[in-house]
Amino acid sequence: MVHLQILTVYPEIFTSFLSQGLIQKAIEQEKLLVDLINFRNFGIGKHMKVDAPPYGGGAGMVLRPEPIVNALERCQEKANSGRVHKILISPQGEPYNQRKAQELSKLDRPIVLVCGRFEGFDERIREFVDEELSLGDYIMMGGEIAAMAIIESVGRLIPGVIGNIQSIESESFNYDLLEYSQYTRPVSFRGKRIPEVLTSGNHKEIENWRHQNALEKTRKKRPDLFDQYILSKAGV
């Protein structure tokens, strides 16, 4: 089982997401456990404050360290082994990718995702996490959407969640290339036909076509990935 704990001030955002499709199925089958933890419960004073104005002035409010760090420590206390993997979702983090999803899906301890809000985190919070992850070079209002992306990308890698394991093994990024073009019925649509090789029944030729197609798509759409792939094949 993969155990994910989400620290957020808006746990209700996740309600519909966790009760649909394969994620719901994984939870019902006890392959995936997702705990929603409102770190406002660890807030300061009778109003349970979690934010404060930034020192030195500036717009907006900044998340205080105490509520988040206290919530992280509570997660650690509740873990059977006393070990949790703590992740801060932040634009400053390492770019999230398929390799990281695979790595997280194989961890043998709970994973805690900290979702930010407002203008950001007190810098000292970073000292209490194991790593920072970013979904991309853009700013959102909070980390909840990014947390959902991580939940889904990790959850679908759990054995038994997706029925056809071959679809996982052959999809984009598993081999450092974009996925090859896929076609289904009809053979011809508004004058555009599918490549003839796909109906040939020659599996070797089909595999060769798919590999070349993936190479060409990656070269055109993601030259950065293409260059990495070429270097890796050259043993650089």
For the segment 130-151, what is each residue's pLDDT rounded down to a tens digit?
Answer: 999 999 999 999 999 999 999 9
CA distances from 190 to 46, 182, 193, 195 (A): 65, 17, 8, 15
Query: To the nearest whole number, what is the mean pLDDT of the chain?
Result: 93
Can you list the domains of the chain with their CATH numbers? 2-155 (3.40.1280.10), 176-233 (1.10.1270.20)
Residues of the chain with pLDDT > 70: what percent? 94
Short-list 38, 18, 36, 14, CA closest to 27? 18
In the structure, what pLDDT confidence band is assigned to residue 168 with cuts at 50, 70 and 90?
low
Q: What is the structure's pLDDT at 175?
A: 61
pLDDT tens sequence across 36-93 = 999 999 999 999 999 999 999 988 999 999 999 999 999 999 998 779 999 999 999 9
Tokens of 49: 């404050």
In this prediction, residue 167 has a pLDDT band, given cuts at 50, 70 and 90, of: low
Is the pLDDT score of 7 beyond 70?
yes
CA distances from 45 to 58, 66, 67, 132 (A): 24, 12, 11, 29
What percentage of residues in the chain have a pLDDT greater than 90?
88
Can you list the alpha helix ranges (DSSP code H) found in 79-130?
Answer: 98-105
Instruction: Give how far the C-alpha of residue 143 lies from the chain's centroid of Cα atoms, to the nearest Å.
Output: 11
**Reported confidence tier of residue 172, pLDDT bands at 50, 70, 90:** very low
Cα–Cα distance between 164 and 206 in angstroms, integer? 20
pLDDT of residue 28: 97
Query: What is the pLDDT at residue 233?
Result: 86
User: Checking phi first, is residue 30 left (phi over 0); if not, alpha (psi -120 to 50) or beta?
Assistant: left
Q: CA-CA distances (angstroms) from residue 169 to 165, 166, 172, 179? A: 6, 5, 9, 11
Structure-token pair, residue 70: 């206290």
Question: What separation in angstroms does the CA of 11 have from each of 24, 39, 54, 97, 234?
Answer: 16, 10, 25, 24, 47
